[in-house]
Each structure stands twice: as structure tokens, then as C-alpha cells.
Structure 1
Amino acid sequence: MISLQHLNFSYRKGRPVLSDLQLDLQPGRIYGLLGKNGAGKSSLLYNICGLLFPQSGHCNVLGFNPARRQPAFLQQVYLLPETFDLPDVGIDDYVRLYAPFYPAFDEAAFKKHLGVFDVPHGPTLHALSHGQQKKVLISFALATGAKVLLMDEPTNGLDIPSKRQFRKVIAGCLRDDQCMIISTHQVKDLDSLIDDVLILEDSRIILQEPVSRITEKLSFRQVMSLEETEPPIYSEGALKGYAVVAVNRREEHSGLDMEMFFNAVMVEKEKILPLFNR
């Protein structure tokens, strides 16, 4: 569905943002794209949707070269940017203006998502708060029926109840022929959503693994004392003892703590990455 081969990208003559990047993404999956600020997450999304162009290498999305911006490609790809500027129109007018670009747009689904998000339908978009505007855009993105959905920091600006609503909406709407990439540094918002984790570091994807394999190789748990467990790969002080990441030698089943995992990879790359060499 999405294939990037030896892709290189930089801004003018600056340092490389993406270097010899290799990535293959499949339909029916939600990918969590993680990385530090400035790692190139947004640049990767913009290359995939054709708003930025690689200096070299190949980018194939749904059989198209995104840089050509062909209408048949644009109808199947939707990018929700981190920052946006909406027109001062009502929600119905916004749909009337932009839905025709997406042949598979589902107005009933759009209204359903707005209902879950508790977005008032009457005011113009400029009368809504930033968080409410973002919920309109998330609802619109999901209603497009686009096969590739790219979301850049979608939970920024959402309060805690809205983040719960976001997880509820996303969890029930991905089709088998769709692929979603969610770029975020607020990783706790995605723990229950993600099928695969991508970590971008030093202009490269240093890890691409399904959640099931991460929890097969590693265990995530709370302990009162580090002495009561085998030496962990990584630990953090918690309200009650310590949160630890350890090699899963006992084949335990534990849920993925994505924030802990990301922090562990950043600190202990030489210990964690070899566990996933295929």
C-alpha cells in the first residue's frame, strides 16, 4: 500500500531529514509514528501525501507517485495537519465545499463522529474552540473514506475527555483496505489503538514492529523494588515503586506501555534493538 525505498529528503541544503529511508506499510493497520521533536515525522507524512518531494529514492502510495499529485491519488489520501486555518463557514457549508473531492465521503459517518465528539452543529467554525475545530477535522478525515489517512499530532489541543472520545472514534472505523499513520509525541493517547510502532531517529526508521511482537519480546510491569525482579533493561520511578521494561524471559503477557517503550528505546538502543533483528 505504501512503499518507500531509499528515500532521501532535506530542506534545501540543510542536514538530511530522511536518509535512505525504507518503509513498507500494509492495509488494515494503524501505525504509530514516534520520534523526538524535529525527528522528521511531519516531513515523512508530507512526502507520503505529495506535499514535499524527495531528493532521491522512490515513494509509491497506492500505486501512485505522490509528487505528481494526480486527482485519482488525492481522492484516496487525507492529511490531518498539526496546524490548520479553517474558513469562517458553518459545518454544513464546509462539507458542501470539500466533501466532493472525496468520492467515498460518508456524511452519515461524519455526523455520527461529530455526535461522539459532542461538537455543536450550529456555530461557524471560527466560533468553535481550537479543540472543537480539530474534532471537526478528525471527523471529516474519517468520513472521507480515503484509503490512506495521515494524522499529525491529532490529540494536540484535545482535553482529557476528548482524547477518550478520539480513541473511541478511531477504534471502530478503520476498514481492511485502509492504512492509518498517526504521528505523535503524546504516546499515552495511542496505547490501545496502535497495531504497529514506527520509531524515527537520526533521519531513519530504527524500529518497525507490531505491538504483538514487542510484548512477546518485552514485559512491562510495576514493582515496588528493583531488587524483587531480574535486572530490567530500563526503569523509571513511579508513584508506587518503579515501572520497568525487561526481557520477557517467562513469556508473560503484558500490555504495551508505549511511552515507557519509546523512552527505553531512546536510552537503551544497544540493548533493545538487537532483540528485534529478524
Structure 2
Amino acid sequence: MSLQLNAGHIYGLLGKNGAGKSSLLKNLAGLVYAQSGKVNVLGFDPKKRQPALLEQICFIPEEFYLPAVKIDAYLKANAPFYKKFNHNYFTELLKEFDIPVSQKLIDMSYGQKKKIIIAFGLATQAKLIIMDEPTNGLDIPSKAQFRKIMASALTDDCCIIISTHQVRDLDNLIDTVIMLDENDIALKASVEEITEKLTFKKVKEIDASIIYAEQSLSGYNAVLPNYHQEESKLDIELLFNAILTEKTKFKPLFD
């Protein structure tokens, strides 16, 4: 696997269970070590877990533990690990998420705790922010809050990776899609490139021009080559299913 990620982008990392998403993220964060090959993050080897790198990486896992303390005590213990931690921004994010600052972590629901670690991760202002299933455990209003926050969170010197199987949660959020299949990269392309090369539309009948289609109540949701430069909205879930089902048909379009 060969992959280069750049600052100023929000990457959506997609793949079936067992495709290698978590392994890739943990390698980038230095939580597991590759048996072969090299991993370089901001000029460092992450497996060495040097403080100069760790203060620039924030990994937000799917499963996490928060101690039975108040939010300010949690900050006092953890914020010093990040030199650029922005306390004012953290407070703003809590307000966006409707989280009372004085509330104890032990009294919070799973979804509220998830909002806390998302807010903390963004407030670190780390150069690499990795989110593994960040919307898991969030209700529909909270997912809307998350999308609103993420839309303004990216900076030119920050790279954000969001891994999820809830692909529709990434709509209008990411600018680049990375799709893994069997521990390899099935697709890496910007949303702009994808919609330049492919059209996503509803059709009544299937014909030879259609690369992939799924039946719907009103006909078919289809993916076609964009020969006529039509504008269409990226359907991430449809693209995900299409790439995994018809890999050989899509590969020439993105090589």
C-alpha cells in the first residue's frame, strides 16, 4: 500500500470491516507497528512515539474511556500534552454540542462523552487529527452539529482523517475519498475528480452505459461515466458499493 496525505484536506476513509482501516489509522498514530514498509508522519517514524510527534497527532478512537471527573479536571490532566491546545475553542465547541461545562463525565451519556472527545480532539489544533467512527453513538441532531463543526474545523496546516462505515454521515463533509479493500487502496480521489469522471443519477431502465446500479422505489440509482460533463451530487454510499462490486470497471477511470 502506498498512500500520501496532505494538510488542508478532510479525508474520508471507507472500507468493509476487516479492510484495514483501523490498522492504517493506528499505524499513523504509532499505536501499532507495520511488519514491513515505512510510515512517515510529519517527518517522524510514528512507532518511535517521540513527544515532538505525539503533540502534533490526536487520535479519537471509536471505543474510549473517560474518568469520573469534571470536564475542567479532564482538561487539566490532558490538555498540557498539546502545546497549541485552544481552551476558548474547546469551550465554543461544547456550546455548539450543548454540553454543560460543569457536568461530570460520569453523568453523561455515551453520545455526550463522544462529543467531549471530539471537541477535545479539535481543540488540540494538532496537525493530524484522526477520527475513528466519530458519529457512532450520535443521534440525528448531534450528527448535524458534528457536520456543522467539522465544516469550519479544517485549517491549511491540518490534515483530518475520518474513518466510518456510516458513509452517508460524510456527505458534504470530506473533500477526498480513500477506499480500502483487502488491505489495499481501491480508490483515492477528490470529490471534484470523482464528480468530473462519474455521474450519479436516477434512471428508469438500465442500459450498457451504466457501470453500476441499485434498484430503488422509482427505478435505479446509477453510476455512469461522465462523458458529457454533467453536474451531479456525489452519492458516497452508492460509490462505495459500486467500487467494491465493479472494481475492474472503475480502475481505468482513476489510474
TM over 0.5: yes
- Give the Cα–Cα distance (whole angstroms) in 2 for the partners of residues 160 and 273 of structure 1: 35
- Give the Cα–Cα distance (whole angstroms) in 1 for the partners of residues 108 and 161 of structure 2: 26
For 2:156, the equivalent position in structure 1 comes to 176
Question: Please, which of 227, 238, 242 is the counterpart of residue 216 of structure 2?
Answer: 238
For 2:246, the equivalent position in structure 1 comes to 268
For 1:26, the equivalent position in structure 2 comes to 6
- Give the Cα–Cα distance (whole angstroms) in 2 for the partners of residues 207 and 75 of structure 1: 30
- Give the Cα–Cα distance (whole angstroms) in 1 for the partners of residues 222 and 62 of structure 2: 32
Please report how far the alpha carbon of residue 250 of structure 1 lies from its aligned counterpart in structure 2 after TM superposition.
Answer: 1.2
Question: Please, which of 226, 232, 236 is the counterpart of residue 205 of structure 2?
Answer: 226
Q: 1:87-146: per-residue Cα shift (whole Å, max 9, x none)?
A: 011111111110000010001111111111111222211110000000000000000010
Q: Where does the alignment leave 5 or more consecutive residues of structure 1 unmatched?
A: 1-20
Query: Aligned-residue CA RMSD in angstroms?
Result: 1.1
Higher-RCO chain (CA-CA 8 Å, sequence separation at least 6): 2
3-state secondary structure, aligned to 2:96: helix
3-state secondary structure, aligned to 1:22: coil
Please report how far the alpha carbon of residue 261 of structure 1 lies from its aligned counterpart in structure 2 after TM superposition.
Answer: 0.4
- Identity among equivalent pairs (%): 54
Answer yes or no: is the 8 Å Cα contact 2:209–2:225 preserved in 1.
no
Q: Does 1:74 align with 2:54?
A: yes
Please report how far the alpha carbon of residue 194 of structure 1 lies from its aligned counterpart in structure 2 after TM superposition.
Answer: 0.9
Please report how far the alpha carbon of residue 222 of structure 1 lies from its aligned counterpart in structure 2 after TM superposition.
Answer: 1.9
For 1:44, the equivalent position in structure 2 comes to 24
- Give the Cα–Cα distance (whole angstroms) in 1 for the partners of residues 99 and 216 of structure 2: 36
- Give the Cα–Cα distance (whole angstroms) in 2 for the partners of residues 128 and 77 of structure 1: 26
Name the one with the larger strand percent. 1
Moved over 3 A (4+): none
Please report how far the alpha carbon of residue 230 of structure 1 lies from its aligned counterpart in structure 2 after TM superposition.
Answer: 6.2
Q: Does 1:141 align with 2:125?
A: no
Amino acid across the alignment from 1:64:
F
Please report how far the alpha carbon of residue 168 of structure 1 lies from its aligned counterpart in structure 2 after TM superposition.
Answer: 0.5
For 2:91, the equivalent position in structure 1 comes to 111
Counting matched residue pairs gives 255
- Give the Cα–Cα distance (whole angstroms) in 2 for the partners of residues 226 and 115 of structure 1: 49
For 1:247, the equivalent position in structure 2 comes to 225
Normalising by structure 1, we get a TM-score of 0.89
- Give the Cα–Cα distance (whole angstroms) in 1 for the partners of residues 216 and 111 of structure 2: 30
Please report how far the alpha carbon of residue 233 of structure 1 lies from its aligned counterpart in structure 2 after TM superposition.
Answer: 1.1
Amino acid across the alignment from 2:37:
G
